[in-house]
Structure 1
Amino acid sequence: MYKQPREAHEARIYTQAYRVYGMVYLVPTTGTADLLNHEKPYLPVTGALIYTPGYAHPPETKELKASTGFLALRKERIQWMVGGRPSEPRTSPSLLERKRLAFLFGDYLLAGELLVPRGVRLSDHLSQAKPFQTLLEAKLYTLAPDRPIVELPPQETFSFVTVNLRLAEAVAEAPGEAHDPRLTLFG
């Protein structure tokens, strides 16, 4: 049993092998990234529906592989997650800045805003930050070989998602204001 009271939240959890839909449990004053960054290696999920890998939502019925009342999911395998609530920064907002980033996961990417310390190089922050971070105003884009990124419509929009920095295949920063905005999906 949990030592502290928990709040139930619906969640969609994406790994390379599965899409898991179910309930996760947060301490009232914490966010999803806090839960995933906690030292325990497994994420408890109740009422879990396990689907084939992918990103499409909602999944098709034929994609359902299993269901279980309880699933202990290895956190290190989680690429990103929808649900819960955003984690609050543990430092003064004046010490942070929003960086517009894209996280590549196979044939799709998640783009949004990540809070990073002012004046710190992005590569240094990505190397030293805890693995799970809150990506605000996130959008999911499906890559297409015959279409430039700037022409891709978002497949889904989220107020936030929690991404695993360690499992993103690549991270791209949006170009500065002086660049032609047509060159980027960040516009």
Structure 2
Amino acid sequence: MDLANKVRLIKDFPKPGINFRDITTLLQDGEAFQQAVNDILALCGDWEVDLIACPESRGFVLGAPMAYALGKGLVLLRKPGKLPGKTVRHEYNLEYGTDALEVHEGAILPGQRVLLVDDVLATGGTMFAAAELVKKSGGQVAGMVFLIELVGLEARQKLSEYPIVTLMQLEA
């Protein structure tokens, strides 16, 4: 099955000039969703990992079935104020302003190898912040995996120190 045909293109969302790749159409097709998870697992199945970590929210959708299939723990990386208890935080710059990700303190232990999972690799900003959060927690980034990579945005250069695999490459 050609999974790229299951991803809907929405032009000028969330603002003019942006072509949004909507994965909800792939997710609602059970066979396509299952194939996507299985294909992603095949891409990174040989990597030694202790945990799967993913940023909200669509990273959760892919990270959870991967963690389950691999028998690994799942760590959620959230926007500020979404996690109860003590957190580790990493702030990062956006084109217009800043944002941050947080993880529960102690969710990633020193030396644990963490596979970072998200739906789309665009500019690399969120995943760079996720990697920094893993490092601040004492973990090691084992690699990064994405359902879609938007080509032409040069995110791989920003993340060049990490192994990266993507299931499909689409135009930005």
Q: Which is greater in Rg?
A: 1
Given the two structures, how large is their TM-score scaled by the length of structure 1?
0.26
Considering fraction of residues, name the structure with more strand: 1
Structure with higher helix content: 2
